[in-house]
Structure 1
Amino acid sequence: MIHPHIADALKTPDLVRLSPDTVLIRFESMKVYSALAAVRHLLDRGAVRPGQTLVDSSSGIYAYALALACHRHGLRCHIVASTTVDETTRAQLEVLGASVEQVAPSTSLKLDQELRVRRVREILAERPDVHWMRQYHDDIHYLGYQEVADQLVKALPEAALTVVGGVGSGASTGGLVERLRQRDPSVRLVGVQPFGSVTFGSQDHHDPEAIIAGIGSSIPFDNVRHHLYDAVHWMDFTHAMSGTVALLREHAVFAGLSTGAAYLTATHEARRHPDRVHLVVGADTGHRYVSRVHARHAEALDPAGLSPVEVDSPQQMSMPWSTMAWDRTPGPDERKEDAA
């Protein structure tokens, strides 16, 4: 197949068998699917027009995905970037035609996200013609993952499936599983969170090494549908790093930190549920993490000796790794909607 644009080629994932009961779905940049489908949807219904500027904040891979989608469809792109966006990513964004502004350095994920949202609102007040993509809140970002789910059904038609991935904005794991459950309601979803994220209640725990950008949040995300998740794992940086290094060492897969966290989670879940196929969501490659993760491979722990503490409520969790059966419990906002 000859693709009309590089974004159409980049979005397609690869499926890699890691073990008899574990499969990796590896994306070069997962959110390309989400951004392409969202932008196409907005254009089709006339919500945006060619040449208009789309804006959003990002810690990395969504910025790249949105810049590609804008390049693909003849739109302008403006990114309010997290301090975690590295020089390589920023250079690509700028060459693709995106304008980029990076918030002031901060050791706090909460402050970083608050500064980004505040700046986006300032831009909207200054330039009413700009369209805010709202990747954390607009459910159009679920649309692209329906196609991925349909590919999975063809590749794993008979599997009793468990999807394991970073929660983040909620759109990727949520979009996959909503579509998969239309065919098979028994599909399980296991979400991975860093300590310090408000999404599933770990905000009172501070990881002294780092917050894993992209899979957690210091502010509520409307796109997270808590009722989709069967279990949640909270993991610190060192354990996520160990999973990332193990994935490269054992399977030659060069991936990012959220993929490593999902891989370590999936190995634990597979031991508990050997009758199921565990699908590890690999959101991106490891290039952004070379100095912070892969170069520190000597510090990585042996995954064989790692296991989480099982808790009955978020209040009982403890670092460095905890897990809890979520049992598709609605979040606070979802409970309010049901009551209404």
Structure 2
Amino acid sequence: MDQHIAESVGRPDLIRLDDRLVCLRFETMKVVSALAAVRHLLDTGAVRRGDTLLDSSSGIYAYALALACHRYGMCCHIVGSTTVDHTLRTQLAVLGATLEQMEPCSDLKLDQKRRVERIHEILAEHPEYHWMRQYHDDIHYLGYRAIAERIREATGAAGLTVVGGVGSGASTGALARYLRAAPSGSADVRLVGVQPYGSVTFGAEHVSDPEIIIAGIGSSIPFGNVSHELYDTLHWISFDAALAGSVDLLRRHAVFAGLSTGAGYLAARHERERTPGRTVLFIAADTGHRYVDTVYARHREAAPLATLAPRDVTDRSELALPWSRMDWNRARAEASAADSYVPAR
């Protein structure tokens, strides 16, 4: 029996959609990493019960950290994106979390930059706060170890392709790392990362999406805990293509999930057809409730998936909307701001 709702919320479902396509479906994925990270900090004495944990979030992590703080008797302070909606604001308030939400801003890059600047201001005022650094600290990998074990038991690690949003690197990167560390040493696990156009993480900042950057799977600033060398393949997917994926996933398989899941589902279907004999598992990071108006209400606009296919590129200068695919081949990140960026504590 679970001792707290966070443990239940963080436990994913494994759903076989067909013989070679599996969905790892979360209600709220980042609860897994937040719970494990806070527990580790307590166990190692880095924080104590009653301390304040601080971080920036566009939505999902704010709820995850608030639940983890509630579970372990901590205080929670969130600098939230302009995209945090009324439902989440209300939940955070009732859970006792402090939310500072950025003023409305049409530029998500500026929104993210302002949030980081505000984090530094708060730390200067309250040096006793602990910054969780979800975008920079490998501590957020820890929670995915048990999930990797469950995936291995259910699917095996022979001929497995994992597809999901890159984001901070914690979910897809951690799953690949733990799955490849099979006791037998014979794990055959490929990792396919999904990115939005405009994300700097793998160098697509020169291509903009006329709709939005899909929150949670890309970034307009360098992230410190993305291990580029874990990824075999990358897909860059636009808002419109991800919308089509989300609608098809609900219509065809009755899975109601967020926009990043639609992008992952689109990439996973393509990888399944491209690599016969391999099982493809894609991550559904959250439910579709906060996308009802922006995505699902537009279901009549969704393009049939049969009309969508990626443009295969060999260089990022060739990236183009609405969907591009590139073999990354586990290359290390190039020497750039992303490599040298070390955020102040």
TM-score (norm 1): 0.97
CA contact (8 A) 1:31 1:65 kept: yes
Separation in structure 1 between the aligned mates of residue 333 and residue 146 of structure 2, nearest angstrom: 27
Say yes or no: does 1:117 pair with 2:119.
Answer: no
> Which position in structure 2 is the counterpart of 1:162?
161
1:295 corresponds to which letter in structure 2?
A
Separation in structure 1 between the aligned mates of residue 126 and residue 261 of structure 2, nearest angstrom: 37
Alignment deviations for residues 16-72 of structure 1 (CA, whole Å, 9 cap, x no partner):
111211000000001111000000000011111100100100011111100000000
Shift of 1:332: 2.4
For this pair of structures, how many residues does the alignment match? 336
Separation in structure 2 between the aligned mates of residue 236 and residue 107 of structure 1, nearest angstrom: 17
> Which position in structure 2 is the counterpart of 1:322?
324
Determine helix, strand or coil for the equivalent of 2:181. helix
2:202 corresponds to which letter in structure 1?
F
Which is worse superposed, 271-280 or 154-163? 154-163
Determine helix, strand or coil for the equivalent of 1:332. coil
Separation in structure 1 between the aligned mates of residue 64 and residue 276 of structure 2, nearest angstrom: 35
Separation in structure 2 between the aligned mates of residue 208 and residue 316 of structure 1, nearest angstrom: 18
Shift of 1:186: 2.4
Structure 2 vs 1, CA of residues 336 and 300 (structure 1 numbering), >3 Å: closer, same or farther? closer
Instruction: State the identity as a percent.
Output: 62
Shift of 1:157: 2.2
Aligned ranges 1:154-193 → 2 under 5 Å: 154-157=153-156, 159-183=158-182, 184-193=186-195
Say yes or no: does 1:152 pair with 2:154.
Answer: no
Which is worse superposed, 322-331 or 11-20? 11-20
Say yes or no: does 1:86 pair with 2:85.
Answer: yes
1:285 corresponds to which letter in structure 2?
T
Say yes or no: does 1:276 pair with 2:275.
Answer: no
CA contact (8 A) 2:224 2:339 kept: no
Alignment deviations for residues 293-328 of structure 1 (CA, whole Å, 9 cap, x no partner):
011101111011110000001111111110000000
> Which position in structure 2 is the counterpart of 1:51?
50
Aligned ranges 1:164-243 → 2 under 5 Å: 164-183=163-182, 184-243=186-245
Separation in structure 2 between the aligned mates of residue 332 and residue 198 of structure 1, nearest angstrom: 12
Shift of 1:109: 1.7
Separation in structure 1 between the aligned mates of residue 73 and residue 126 of structure 2, nearest angstrom: 19
> Which position in structure 2 is the counterpart of 1:129?
128
Separation in structure 1 between the aligned mates of residue 202 and residue 150 of structure 2, nearest angstrom: 29
Separation in structure 1 between the aligned mates of residue 253 and residue 29 of structure 2, nearest angstrom: 20
Q: CA RMSD in A?
A: 1.4
CA contact (8 A) 2:157 2:187 kept: no
Shift of 1:89: 1.1
CA contact (8 A) 1:109 1:217 kept: no
> Which position in structure 2 is the counterpart of 1:21?
20
Alignment deviations for residues 151-185 of structure 1 (CA, whole Å, 9 cap, x no partner):
11111126410000000000100010000001144
CA contact (8 A) 2:76 2:97 kept: yes
CA contact (8 A) 2:157 2:188 kept: no
Structure 1 runs (4+) deviating above 2 angstroms are: 332-337
